């Protein structure tokens, strides 16, 4: 079974079981965003995590096996048709060059790791409507020439 097919089954089973992503992450004792990404095929899961998730969701062993495979990451052009994902890409298109310059100014010549990395999402109340707060927390990796 492909990771994409496994992800589709996970999405359907989550809704069918009436579970939130947070409830699944809690059952796995794992970070919310990383767990959700793993269940959507973007990170490998340990055998124990995959088996626990599939038991919770009522999914077969083939799904657990797919969730343990190392993903081949690429940007699927279909993703950019989703309004939320498009807004993230738009934000990076607008602010990415500025963030790069500011990282270089503050840290020197290097990049932010997306491997030694944490991401979190939160809601912040605001009088004009609630705010979405996304935090990227990546280790700075200096270029070593």
Positions marked catalytic: 87, 90, 113
CA separation for the pair 43, 78 (Å, rounded): 19
Which element (helix H / strand E) includes 135?
strand 131-142
CA separation for the pair 53, 64 (Å, rounded): 8
Asked if 54 and 63 count as a contact pair (C-beta separation under 8 A), the reply is yes
Cα distances (angstroms) measured from residue 73 to each of 44, 56, 90, 109? 12, 26, 20, 26
Name the nearest CA neighbour of 24 among 12, 8, 44, 39.
Answer: 39
CA separation for the pair 20, 99 (Å, rounded): 33
């Amino acid at each position: 079974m492909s990771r994409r097919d496994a992800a589709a089954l996970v999405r359907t089973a989550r809704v069918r079981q009436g579970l939130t992503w947070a409830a699944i992450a809690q059952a796995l004792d794992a970070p919310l965003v990383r767990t959700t990404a793993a269940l959507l095929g973007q990170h490998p899961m340990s055998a124990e995590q995959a088996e626990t998730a599939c038991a919770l969701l009522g999914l077969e062993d083939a799904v657990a096996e797919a969730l343990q495979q190392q993903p081949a990451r690429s940007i699927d052009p279909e993703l950019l048709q989703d309004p939320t994902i498009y807004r993230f890409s738009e934000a990076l298109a607008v602010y990415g060059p500025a963030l790069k310059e500011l990282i270089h100014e503050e840290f020197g010549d290097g990049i932010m790791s997306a491997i030694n990395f944490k991401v979190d999402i939160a809601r912040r109340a605001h009088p004009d409507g609630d705010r979405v707060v996304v935090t990227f927390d990546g280790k700075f990796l200096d270029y070593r020439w």
